[in-house]
A and B are shown apart, each in its own frame.
Chain A
């Protein structure tokens, strides 16, 4: 580990530099005097927990936010950015964390937005727009995305690719990427990293954020660690454990808590020959005290399975039994009554199921309003007491329980969802990708929470896009492929490699 000055050795000013940035939202201080510098010809990773200020920094550098204090320099020149256009003029382009594509416009229209080819009269030339977009995608090695398709009709990973392509075709000198890989598969990440290496070879500056350590280690020349809105240092070749300590300010000895073995096999949730939109011939048994993992590549029916089990999507065929009784699911109400609870993080991360503008407390009690009401009026004292207890038990970090749920960090939003189903006395919890985009310390808390929940006699069906997480945290893992269960892995055969291998094996013969 070496703390180092910019690679250019002080001769050239850094390609992009920020000093003393301060930014507050309401009462929350996102940046508290952060410094950052990245040089031309380097790939610079920004790491830190959620809420450490990485995204805010990127937004300021990209011209989308204005800092309360501090300055930004491009190539040594101090610039006050009033909007993305001024950053663009300096060659700085940003791929923001949340998608900024326009859903009801075509891929081509999005790719060349505000840079469309014009015809003789100055109007957009539709056919040339389509052709130019096609050529631009082709140059980047993207041949599977139709430039004339509407953005809403293409898959999420494809949208992320378009989002990246749109910025890369502008030929940026400084490329800022905020969590570009969170919705990409392995293959697509490799594509992106090739692109980044190409830019580096041509002397461009690339700054990116990620929660996936192996990605950071594989491509970053330098790493700047953020904590609580300020940088804690810039490093070359730092070990993961050391970085985690710096990010959290504490040591996490083991990220994954040890998993107690299953005692007795009491079935709690059984699915037999379940078929419907996106799933086929799905069967499994979830036992009391068990964490049953569901893994595989995105888009292979996991989401549909979870929605079907929760009654939010019709099953075309098959049976679902909970506690030995066959369920007739006409909607989520029936599932809730049967003791199921769901925490589902949709692919675009705007949490499904949470009413974001409403208070944390209202979100917690949503499923049990009839139980805590008398004559249709919610008993405020009882509500206060119950929500206070659950928030404490789950360590939900919120300024107050009256704070809007939308103001909480991703990990804490997940906890609110879990809390809702605990209050509803759900015995079977369906947790769908609850740890995605969640920082390491909160992940650790969620893992411990899950173990406590099954220890108390509940059962958890747990989908995760992270194979490592599944391998460590689950008693068994079902790997889905093309809507079917391709493999069921139990210890000792269970490992991240085995999950990935089962997920990508040749397509099933029809």
Chain B
């Protein structure tokens, strides 16, 4: 129908493009590999042996809550938002599970569903305020963080309650790294999400809100769903946290607000929205755990742990960013 516009260009294959466009993902896995290697080195220097099944299991179990929170945070960050209430939702859902869950299959399943729904409801509230109310995500979720923390203390004033051992076994088998299965499941869910209408809509909103709207994408709905999903994953984090601790603590989730953002950044998700993968964020969560592990075995004074964690984080971001820029320039 039309004349040739310009000389045809040699096409690169889809696979080449996919690799090039996921450099951030490759980078975080390279970082994880480096961290694991460093950890093994320090471990060997201390113990004259290499870490085994026990270390793998405890690392995976300890990271599960962060990995879950990071998935939720990724989805919100993709819309060019931020969910600071993640910690509060973990507090509240953790407390709810510890207070109510009984040692019967019905109770365990029932409360799992109820707790996840509670997370969805809390996230939905954030979504309404940000999406429909057009309020700043940081302000909204800072406020709801405080509200959710307050509610959590009402539910469980002192650390306590109990998580049935069966539930712990179901989520985080303490002897085998079975929780890896949940990670694989989540990675699969993410890939499906990325190829679903709502996934594309959420990423489009983060790319350029006005352009997304011009393409007929429902921006408000996308935002509400993103925050709701973040609430669900934060609730899942609360459940994993309760399962590993075998009890509840209404303040144990507080640190996850910031550490989920750290995981997202390490995972190559762009804080300005539109780019990134939850798989990267999960890997980013593991990198932060490995940093703590490395510090433990490198005989650093525990009082300096926070100092070195921050230092490692800056180094990781600087090196990662530098390599990323180099890769881009080569293209």
Contact = CB atoms under 8 A, between A and B. Distances in A.
Interface of A: 64, 83-85, 88, 96, 98-106, 109, 113-114, 116, 121-127, 130, 134, 139-146, 148-150, 153, 161, 187-188, 190-191, 194-195, 198
A114 B9 contact: no
Contacts of B275: 104
A144 B7 contact: yes
B22 to A, nearest CB: 11
Contact of A100 (B4, B6, B8, B215): B215
Nearest to B9: A144
A84 B214 contact: yes
A187 B4 CA distance: 10
B189 to A, nearest CB: 11
B211 interface: yes
Contacts of B6: 143-144, 187
A144 B5 contact: yes
Given A105-B204, A144-B6, A100 B211 contact: yes
Interface stretch (B11-19, B98-106, B244-252): B11-19
B4 A114 contact: no
B211 A124 contact: no
Contacts of B323: none
Interface in B192-230: 192, 195-197, 200, 203-204, 207-208, 210-217
A85 B14 CA distance: 31
Contacts of B21: 106, 150
A126 B212 CA distance: 20
30 contacts: A85-B216, A88-B216, A98-B210, A100-B208, A102-B203, A102-B208, A102-B212, A104-B207, A104-B275, A105-B203, A113-B215, A114-B197, A121-B192, A123-B195, A123-B196, A124-B195, A140-B1, A140-B2, A141-B2, A141-B3, A143-B8, A143-B9, A144-B8, A145-B9, A148-B11, A149-B17, A153-B331, A187-B5, A194-B2, A195-B1
A143 B5 contact: yes
Given A101-B211, A113-B200, A150-B21, A188 B331 contact: no
Interface of B: 1-9, 11-12, 14, 17-18, 21, 192, 195-197, 200, 203-204, 207-208, 210-217, 270, 274-275, 331
B1 A139 contact: yes
A109 B201 CA distance: 11
Contacts of A85: 216
Contact of A103 (B4, B18, B192, B207): B207
Contacts of A161: 5
Given A88-B216, A143-B8, 4 more contacts: A64-B214, A114-B197, A114-B217, A198-B2
A64 B8 CA distance: 35
Contact of A113 (B7, B12, B204, B213): B204
Contacts of A84: 214-216
B208 A103 contact: yes
Nearest to A142: B5
A148 B14 contact: yes
Contacts of B210: 98, 100
A146 B204 contact: no
A112 to B, nearest CB: 10
Rank and list the top 5 A-B pairs by shortest CB-CB distance, nearest first: A141-B2, A143-B8, A102-B207, A123-B195, A148-B17
Nearest to B7: A144
Most A-side CB within 10 Å, residue of B2, B5, B200, B212 = B5
Contacts of A130: 14
B64 to A, nearest CB: 26
B17 A188 contact: no
Contacts of A146: 9, 11-12, 17
Contacts of A194: 2-3
Contacts of B4: 141, 143
Contacts of B11: 134, 146, 148
Most A-side CB within 10 Å, residue of B2, B12, B197, B275 = B2
Contacts of B196: 122-124
Contacts of B12: 146, 148
Given A101-B211, A123-B195, A114 B216 contact: yes
A142 B7 CA distance: 9
A127 B2 CA distance: 26
A142 B9 CA distance: 10
A57 B8 CA distance: 37
A138 to B, nearest CB: 9
A116 B71 CA distance: 25
Most A-side CB within 10 Å, residue of B6, B9, B11, B17 = B6
Nearest to A190: B3
Contacts of A134: 11
Contacts of B274: 102-104
A191 B211 contact: no
Contact of B5 (A99, A126, A153, A191): A191
A278 B101 CA distance: 66
A99 B3 contact: no
A107 to B, nearest CB: 10
A123 B194 CA distance: 9
B179 to A, nearest CB: 26
A125 B212 CA distance: 21
A127 B21 CA distance: 15
A282 to B, nearest CB: 23
Nearest to B201: A114
Contacts of A187: 5-6
B301 to A, nearest CB: 43
B204 A188 contact: no
Contacts of A123: 192, 195-196
A99 B211 contact: yes
A238 B209 CA distance: 40
Contacts of B216: 83-85, 88, 114
A142 B212 CA distance: 24
A134 B12 CA distance: 12
A191 B5 CA distance: 6
Contacts of B2: 140-141, 191, 194-195, 198
A141 B213 CA distance: 29
Contacts of B207: 102-105
A102 B21 CA distance: 15
A138 B133 CA distance: 44
Contacts of A126: 14, 195
Nearest to B204: A102
